[in-house]
Chain A
């Protein structure tokens, strides 16, 4: 066991040494944008950074457009302190089929009533019960990592334009 550790240490040292000696620039590296270390900040590894401020959750209460049809809709309101466990689901107290008439909230889609074999159930499927596995609140903060996503309509618009490729 000890030998194995010694070997690992040796291998790691060689790796570090070669990296230091021959700094490799990956051809696609500049596309990735700021490296992971900048997400962490300039503080050395043995020091803790000051935590960034917790951003304000956007609370417009207006539905946002989806970037692609399968995208789970984002939550346009705060969900602080909402209980979501085996005892209760506060999201469903407005978004359940039986609750939307009173609450005016959008009903959870019909896919939530299906089990993984596509079999329709009477109520929300257990695998769809924990809403914030897919649906999340939004906040206006600078992008941590640059993103060049364009939705399909914009893509098609460019392609259909004369001279577009």
Chain B
């Protein structure tokens, strides 16, 4: 124990003393360059984990949720604009994104121990997983939906009367948020018995 303390002390001493052999220029410029490389590397790695390619490199995502997405309007549509996994499932702001990435360490755990490595296991867990996403979107007022769909830019006159009325009544007044009504638009739903708004 005392050995460790003395080791820490000696390194602390090195940190406090001015450098003897290395120039100030080397230390400051070298530190700056190393910082750029580390930061750039970190962000590149982070962005790589934020691609659909990365998501569906695991069979759990590729064989279940990705196949379901492919049949929906968020995959193919008239205009050819499409949503990839992180568009909806990862916040776009940096701090929120980092927070979500830290949460994802639980998903790494699940991957390692095969929590949903078969279809049956996935279906059994689907309600729990869906509830996580519903509560996330509910608590951030469907932020990821609104990254593309803004209420201000919605032309209600182009919507069907039914949709226009529902959006006018519930969305504009803030009574409801997107996910309250639009559950299961990109993936299949678990058994909805007991879920609010479903019978």
Query: Interface on A for B, CB 8 Å cutoff?
Result: 59-62, 77-78, 80-81, 83, 86-90, 92-93, 96, 98-99, 103-104, 123-124
B153-199 contacts to A, CB under 8 A, are: 160-162, 165-166, 184-185, 188-192, 197-199
**A99 B160 Cβ-Cβ under 8 A:** no
**B160 A61 Cβ-Cβ under 8 A:** yes
Cross-chain contact of A88 among B71, B162, B165, B184 (Cβ < 8 A)? B184
**A78 B199 Cβ-Cβ under 8 A:** no
Main secondary structure of the interface of B (DSSP, over half): loop
Cross-chain contact of A83 among B73, B161, B188, B199 (Cβ < 8 A)? B188
Q: A61-B160, A104-B165 are in contact. Are A81 and B185 (CB under 8 A)?
A: yes
**B160 A81 Cβ-Cβ under 8 A:** no
Cross-chain contact of B199 among A80, A86, A99 (Cβ < 8 A)? A99
B72 at the interface (CB under 8 A from A): yes
Instruction: Note all chain A residues with C-beta closer than 8 A to B192.
Output: 87-88
Cross-chain contact of A98 among B71, B160, B199 (Cβ < 8 A)? B199
**B199 A92 Cβ-Cβ under 8 A:** yes
Bound state CA distance, A59 and B163, in angstroms?
A: 10
Bound state CA distance, A62 and B72, in angstroms?
A: 26
B115-171 contacts to A, CB under 8 A, are: 160-162, 165-166
Q: How far is the CB of A128 from chain B (nearest CB, A)?
A: 13
Q: How far is the CB of A119 from chain B (nearest CB, A)?
A: 20
| 15 pairs from A and B in contact (CB 8 Å cutoff) | A77-B162, A80-B73, A81-B71, A81-B73, A83-B188, A87-B188, A87-B189, A87-B192, A88-B191, A88-B192, A88-B198, A92-B198, A93-B198, A96-B199, A99-B197
Instruction: Note all chain A residues with C-beta closer than 8 A to B72.
Output: 81
Bound state CA distance, A104 and B161, in angstroms?
A: 12
In this complex, how many residues of chain B approach chain A with their Cβ under 8 Å: the count is 18
Q: A80-B73, A83-B184, A83-B188 are in contact. Are A89 and B162 (CB under 8 A)?
A: no
Q: How far is the CB of A140 from chain B (nearest CB, A)?
A: 16
Bound state CA distance, A89 and B199, in angstroms?
A: 7
Instruction: Note all chain A residues with C-beta closer than 8 A to B165.
Output: 104
**B190 A77 Cβ-Cβ under 8 A:** no
11 extra interface residue pairs, beta carbon distance < 8 Å, beyond A93-B197, A96-B199? A59-B162, A61-B160, A61-B161, A62-B161, A77-B160, A77-B162, A80-B73, A81-B71, A86-B191, A87-B190, A124-B199
Instruction: Note all chain A residues with C-beta closer than 8 A to B166.
Output: 103
Instruction: Note all chain A residues with C-beta closer than 8 A to B161.
Output: 60-62
